[in-house]
């Protein structure tokens, strides 16, 4: 049995993994808000359970089993968020904390029912891909809005690390997933962007905000 605490570590490792699938103890510690010695000892115990590969002073890597477990929890989290938004009338800024708890419920049936009721969604309300039952994730062709050039027209398709403060800010600008944007201007001095979308012709967004927004090219018919 994997405890709720362990599940949160596995999920974090999955999310933080770099290109090599590695995560430093310090990074993990900061992300979870748990002190490094606690993380170190948890890594030892996860290694004993064959969920991570861990050598002292080296970054941590999820095993195949660990990766599968992590993906399963992320799947539950994202299905829950989608269900709360689509079927229960929550806003996208209200669901993360609830999903953080519901993701630990031991019941495949519950999440299968959500999946079915939602007609097997591929993305959560923040545009993050939902892993399938085998833990496979279908990453869409996204880049950051901050990487787009002046004149480009793209579609908002995701938000990174969606804090409710940021999501409420997007609400106030009427920015939603699916919104089609054109980059009108990039301020050379501080990277501030001027964007047009809907009826808005010159909405201003800081570079920091643009780094948290994911976009895709428009789909042609």
Partner DNA sequence: ATATAAAGTTAGATATCACTAACAAAATTA
Partner DNA sequence: TAATTTTGTTAGTGATATCTAACTTTATAT
The interface partner of residue 96, options being DNA, Mn ion, its own copies, none and the CB cut-off 5 to 8 Å by kind, is Mn ion
Token digits of residue 198: 């809907």
- Are 179 and 205 spatial neighbours (Cβ–Cβ below 8 Å)? no
Contact set with its own copies (CB under 8 A)? 84, 87-90, 94, 97-98, 101-102, 104-107, 109-110, 113-114, 117
Which stretch of DSSP H or E encloses residue 61? strand 60-62
- The footprint of DNA on residues 62-91 (CB under 7 A) is none
State the nearest-atom distance from the C-beta of 99 to Mn ion, in Å.
Answer: 5
What is the contact surface with Mn ion in residues (CB under 5 A)? 8, 96, 100
Alpha-carbon gap, residue 67 to 176, rounded angstroms: 31
Cα–Cα distance measured from residue 62 to residue 53, given in angstroms and rounded to the nearest whole number: 6
Q: Which of 19, 33, 97, 107 binds DNA (CB under 7 A)?
A: 33
Q: Does the footprint of DNA cover residue 34 (CB under 7 A)? A: yes
59 lines the binding site for DNA (CB under 7 A): yes
Position 201 contacts DNA (CB under 7 A): no
Question: Candidates 10-18, 50-58, 83-91, 187-195 — which segment interacts with DNA by CB under 7 A?
Answer: 50-58
Among 16, 17, 21, 24, contact with DNA (rule: CB under 7 A): 24
Burial 53-87 (b: 16+ CB within 10 A, else e): bbeeeebbbbbeebbbbbbbbbbbbbbbbbbbbee
Rounded Cα–Cα distance for residues 211 and 142 (Å): 12
Whichever of 168 and 200 has its CB closer to its own copies, that residue is: 168
């Amino acid at each position: 049995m994997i405890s709720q605490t362990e599940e949160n570590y596995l999920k974090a490792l999955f999310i933080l993994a770099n290109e090599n699938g590695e995560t430093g103890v310090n990074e993990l510690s900061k992300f979870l808000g748990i002190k490094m010695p606690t993380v170190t000892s948890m890594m030892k115990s996860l290694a004993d359970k064959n969920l991570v590969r861990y050598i002292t002073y080296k970054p941590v890597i999820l095993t195949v089993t660990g990766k599968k477990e992590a993906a399963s929890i992320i799947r539950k989290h994202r299905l829950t968020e989608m269900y709360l938004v689509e079927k229960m009338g929550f806003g996208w800024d209200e669901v993360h904390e609830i999903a953080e708890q519901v993701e630990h419920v031991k019941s495949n049936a519950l999440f299968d029912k959500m999946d079915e009721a939602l007609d097997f969604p591929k993305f959560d309300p923040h545009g993050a891909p939902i892993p399938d039952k085998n833990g496979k994730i279908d990453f869409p062709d996204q880049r950051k809005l901050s990487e787009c050039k002046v004149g480009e027209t793209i579609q908002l398709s995701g938000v990174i690390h969606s804090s409710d403060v940021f999501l409420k800010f997007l609400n106030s600008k009427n920015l939603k997933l699916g919104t089609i944007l054109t980059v009108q201007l990039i301020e050379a001095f501080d990277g501030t962007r001027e964007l047009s979308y809907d009826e808005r012709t010159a909405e201003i967004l800081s570079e920091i905000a643009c780094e948290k927004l994911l976009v895709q090219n428009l789909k042609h018919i």
